[in-house]
Structure 1
Amino acid sequence: MPYAGVPPVFDDRTRDACVVVPGIMGSVLQDTATGALLWGADLAMLTNPWTGKGFLGALRADAQEREADADTALRAPLTRIRATGLLSRPWWLPVFQGLDPYGKVVEVLERVTLGPGAVVPFPYDWRLAVSYNGALLARAARAHLVRWREQVAARPEWRAVGERQPRLVFAAHSMGGLVVRAALEQDPELAADTRAVITVGTPFLGSAKAVLALNLVQAEAKPAWLLRHVQGMAATLPGVHDLLPGYRCLDRGLDVDRLTPADVARFGGDADLAARSLGERARHRESPVVLPGHRAIVGEAQATVQTLDEQEPTGRAVAVGCHHAFDVGDVGELVRDPRTGIPARRNTYGDGTVHGPSAQAGTDAVHYVFGQHGTLMRHDEVLRQLRRIALERPQGVHLGGDGAGPGLETPHLGGTLGQPLTLTATGLDSPMGVCLTVRSTTTGRPGHPLTLTAGPDGALSARFTPDAPDLYRVVLDTGTHAPISQLVLITPPDT
């Protein structure tokens, strides 16, 4: 008999379970004993020295937190501070700069899964070691997959979407990609149950900005109290040390060295934490971990600190960021200019925090996008690619084409009320059709377009003088690319 019913038409959805893993600073942190929110709740902790000093002091890692590793997580997880959720409002920190909330990513994935229960966030205490958080993630991801498989099995209409068992898809930003790698390395069975790992701006080789964050005591920018207390906090955190670059990054002129624990201590970090982190970097160089279904989304065309120059103008080591890297040959030797023997320097750009080679290490499945590191997870092109990968679409073209495109530069230490900021648009020949705006993230007041003018070097820049302490969003819209945004914190003058 011919079929006389109406054949069902299913929505375009994946049957897999998704886990969203934020980057450093991307989880709200709470004091377990008092219930006080220590991170990600109130900008006063960054703009008001009377409250900010207490919050930043509370976030310093104690001796037990500094030593915590994967075994600690499995045996007796730490409880002094807990992560309560993903960042839900724009945030900022000197050097690392702005960070957007993760709500858009969760929404996009929920729209392409069978039900809201398929997508869970994994907030974690980013102050602690990657290995510690990786063990917690492995346990949480396994529990989520078990629950989701039970839900799918209980729904006949969902079973009809496909025959295979649901698997895991990880969507990870920045440090979150390192946490996912640690989880899958520690739990090979979980890796076998993973269909895809999507990393967005993950520093697989490290980020030179981590050294700058440890060296803030040398910075002359204002407010001094904020830089001093952020540096004091960062120097105790295993998580910050786990972002240290493992590649050759110390420019010595005629040679280029890798960081040593002594170097890190000289720049303001902790030698023991650095030794553990750099040891992990060396281990991954010798035995790389291949992530299942790894797809990397990489920011490009943004001015990015890639290596470091060490100076001692006052007898204390000062790390100066350099916007170039070094080519390395097939056997690991530096490529040198055949005429002079000087190491060949090359600007590889990046997303403003992670340079290109670090974010794409370990995979050839790369999507490029013009965007700033902390705002990538709200970037239209990034969200589109996350949706495509979740739905198992074929790999598309590189978003950035030949790598030539617009970039945005803002002060990485923020600004002071009453002092004009210089905002720079790079990679553009003319201001025609280009719109640069600044608006408050707290009031939502639309900003007036700024006038871009060409300087002696051809770069386009504009001046902005803030009229109130706040966290501001700078948006560069060329009319032909997805807008690029960055966050800038403006604080009151030092008193």
Structure 2
Amino acid sequence: MNRAPFDDVLVVLPGIMGSTLLDRDGREVWGQDAATLHGLLRGGTSRLALPAGIGDEHPGDGITPGVLMPGIYASVGVWTTSLGYRRLLDHLTRRYTLTPDNLVAFAYDWRLSNRYNGRRLKRVVEPVLARWREQPGRRDAKLVFLCHSMGGLVARWYTEREGGATHTRTLLTIGTPHRGAAKAIDRLVNGVRLKLGRFGIDLTEVARGLPALHQLLPSYACIEEGGALRTIAEAGGLPGVSAAALDDAARFHAQLDGSPDTARLHPLVGINQPTAASARITRGTAVLQRTMLTAEGIAVDRLGDGTVPRFAAYPKGFGDRFPALSWSAQTHGGLPGHRGVLDQIDGVLTGTGVEFRASGTAIGVEADPLVLAGEPLTVRAESTDPALLMDAQLIEPATGTPVARQVMRHLGAGRHEATFVGLPSGGYVVRVGALRHPDPLLDPVTAPTVVVDPSALGGSGAVQGA
């Protein structure tokens, strides 16, 4: 296939936990293989911890970003299991005339403030652009950003707060929580405690020390109190969460809300997936809810990509009719490599546009993000068509080969479930679709999951930090 010309510099940014992290000796302290999880289980959580009140600085702990996570990786309960970025990068290099001179895969330390990483982004990409412009015919080249999840907030800080707009042609965000995500409330209030059979790990204190995770908190009114929704500040903060960190996160979003770059921004939004949008605080615990109260006190389900509510995946002041919006009925972790998403990326990059046409029937999918080999993997689905017959497949991501398939049990009211047992360790793409459905627009929904070999985790069964 002839590659399309690409005269700009393309910068790809992953989401939170989507970059490997290396210590002073070049060894991974965060990565994709079981050794990372083994290290955490053996008490290695302190290596990811940040000093209190780190703000927008680097801790000087010798940890540096490595590369973008290539394949499926589990976020050990801190965020969402993701497909990784190999498929996206492979597509881009096959489709366009990209070389190491004009393609930047920007790995970053996702523990740190998005302000810090936005400033580091400036230091990395502007010299690359300057060198690229020195080549014949490249004088007018600019930066094009392609960002998944939190990477979009890093890029927006650069373009909108660090003078990057003058160098930027396009900023395409994929599932970016422009207005935050209620999942962050759960992680910060309820804690991050991962159980894998007899193995376990407590990352709560690490999570509560991450400026980036606080900056994923909702900036919109999300706390239900007395029959109304209030912002986190109006609700008096969150139990167990630093007031200073909450104030800083609110300030971060206010700074971006004041200057959204509508001329360059193209948000791609995940839809139709069961997604937490609000929370009630009860006895120091956050109870997440899919619904949001309207002004009339009516609870409305705010479907999104399973992590980011639909309305939060574009900046404040945008709306569903904003012409630069794109849509995909896929899960947050599956968005970066989905065929339909890649088509829409191509439409933005080539300026040709791709029309999103959705079925009148919606499918939403949830799958266990991380299980031990030998334990059951449960896949849940829901549909707006209560009579829909559905099947679930597990796909080997490198080859696209199905390794297991089940017709899902119909539980009633449009809900379905399937359980897979005896799976070997590895990353899988869960694919849920309709059987014998006449609508060709009803695409299957995908979600990544990871099966871990317990022998790779060592002999300890203690819950570290608990």
Same fold per superposition (TM over 0.5): yes
Aligned to 2:106: 122
Aligned to 2:417: 461
The alignment partner of 1:455 has SS state of: strand
Identity of aligned residues (%): 28
Between Structure 1 and Structure 2, how many residues are aligned?
Answer: 442
Aligned to 2:140: 165
* Change in CA separation of 1:406 and 1:241 when aligned onto 2, cut-off 3 Å: same
* Change in CA separation of 1:210 and 1:52 when aligned onto 2, cut-off 3 Å: same
C-alpha distance in 2, partners of 1:37/1:220?
20
**1:16 is aligned to 2:15:** no
**1:408 is aligned to 2:381:** no
- Aligned match of 2:311 in 351, 357, 361? 357
**1:374 is aligned to 2:333:** yes
* Change in CA separation of 1:210 and 1:227 when aligned onto 2, cut-off 3 Å: farther
**1:59 is aligned to 2:48:** yes
Aligned to 1:185: 160
**1:106 is aligned to 2:89:** yes
Alignment of 1:331-346 (within 5 A): 335-336=295-296, 343-346=297-300
Aligned to 2:215: 242
The alignment partner of 2:181 has SS state of: coil
Q: Is the 8 A contact 2:271 2:329 kept in 1?
A: yes
* Change in CA separation of 1:113 and 1:221 when aligned onto 2, cut-off 3 Å: closer
The alignment partner of 1:352 has SS state of: coil
**1:45 is aligned to 2:36:** yes
The alignment partner of 1:233 has SS state of: helix
C-alpha distance in 1, partners of 2:332/2:74?
12
**1:322 is aligned to 2:289:** yes
Tell me whether 437-446 or 256-265 shows the greater mean CA deviation: 437-446
Q: CA deviation at 1:192?
A: 1.7
- Aligned match of 1:423 in 379, 384, 405? 379
* Change in CA separation of 1:436 and 1:232 when aligned onto 2, cut-off 3 Å: same
- Aligned match of 1:385 in 299, 322, 344? 344
Structure 2 runs not aligned, ≥5 long: 455-459
C-alpha distance in 2, partners of 1:467/1:380?
26
C-alpha distance in 2, partners of 1:212/1:294?
29
**1:201 is aligned to 2:175:** yes
Deviations along 1:363-395, one digit per CA (max 9) or x if unpaired, are 4111111111012101111111111211122x3
Aligned to 2:128: 144
Q: CA deviation at 1:478?
A: 3.7
Q: Is the 8 A contact 2:41 2:199 kept in 1?
A: no
Q: Is the 8 A contact 1:224 1:494 kept in 2?
A: yes
Deviations along 1:205-229, one digit per CA (max 9) or x if unpaired, are 101101112234486965586452x
The alignment partner of 2:43 has SS state of: helix
Aligned to 1:4: none
Aligned to 2:457: none
**1:311 is aligned to 2:294:** no
Structure 1: which amino acid aligns with 2:86? G
C-alpha distance in 1, partners of 2:18/2:271?
22
Aligned to 1:339: none
C-alpha distance in 2, partners of 1:431/1:43?
38
**1:274 is aligned to 2:254:** no
Q: TM-score, normalised by structure 1?
A: 0.80
- Aligned match of 2:70 in 83, 88, 91? 88
Q: CA deviation at 1:358?
A: 0.6
Q: Is the 8 A contact 1:371 1:485 kept in 2?
A: yes
Deviations along 1:131-154, one digit per CA (max 9) or x if unpaired, are 000001122121121122123x1x
* Change in CA separation of 1:92 and 1:219 when aligned onto 2, cut-off 3 Å: closer
Q: Is the 8 A contact 2:280 2:287 kept in 1?
A: yes
Q: Is the 8 A contact 1:416 1:490 kept in 2?
A: yes
Q: Is the 8 A contact 1:242 1:277 kept in 2?
A: yes
**1:438 is aligned to 2:394:** yes
Tell me whether 110-119 or 270-279 shows the greater mean CA deviation: 110-119
Q: Is the 8 A contact 2:178 2:315 kept in 1?
A: yes
The alignment partner of 1:178 has SS state of: helix
The alignment partner of 2:119 has SS state of: helix
Structure 2: which amino acid aligns with 1:30? L
Aligned to 2:119: 135
Q: Is the 8 A contact 1:415 1:490 kept in 2?
A: yes
Q: CA deviation at 1:97?
A: 2.8
The alignment partner of 1:98 has SS state of: coil
Q: Is the 8 A contact 2:193 2:204 kept in 1?
A: no
C-alpha distance in 1, partners of 2:355/2:423?
43
- Which protein has the bigger strand share? 2
Structure 2: which amino acid aligns with 1:90? I
Q: Is the 8 A contact 1:309 1:319 kept in 2?
A: yes
Deviations along 1:413-461, one digit per CA (max 9) or x if unpaired, are x4456553431222254454x4312356799984221121211333121
Structure 2: which amino acid aligns with 1:40? G
Q: Is the 8 A contact 1:97 1:488 kept in 2?
A: no
Q: Is the 8 A contact 2:387 2:414 kept in 1?
A: no
The alignment partner of 1:91 has SS state of: coil
* Change in CA separation of 1:220 and 1:127 when aligned onto 2, cut-off 3 Å: closer
C-alpha distance in 2, partners of 1:194/1:422?
43
The alignment partner of 1:97 has SS state of: coil
Structure 1 runs not aligned, ≥5 long: 1-9, 154-158, 328-334, 337-342
C-alpha distance in 2, partners of 1:245/1:444?
36
Q: Is the 8 A contact 1:452 1:461 kept in 2?
A: yes
Q: Is the 8 A contact 1:27 1:123 kept in 2?
A: yes
Structure 2: which amino acid aligns with 1:400? A
Q: TM-score, normalised by structure 2?
A: 0.85
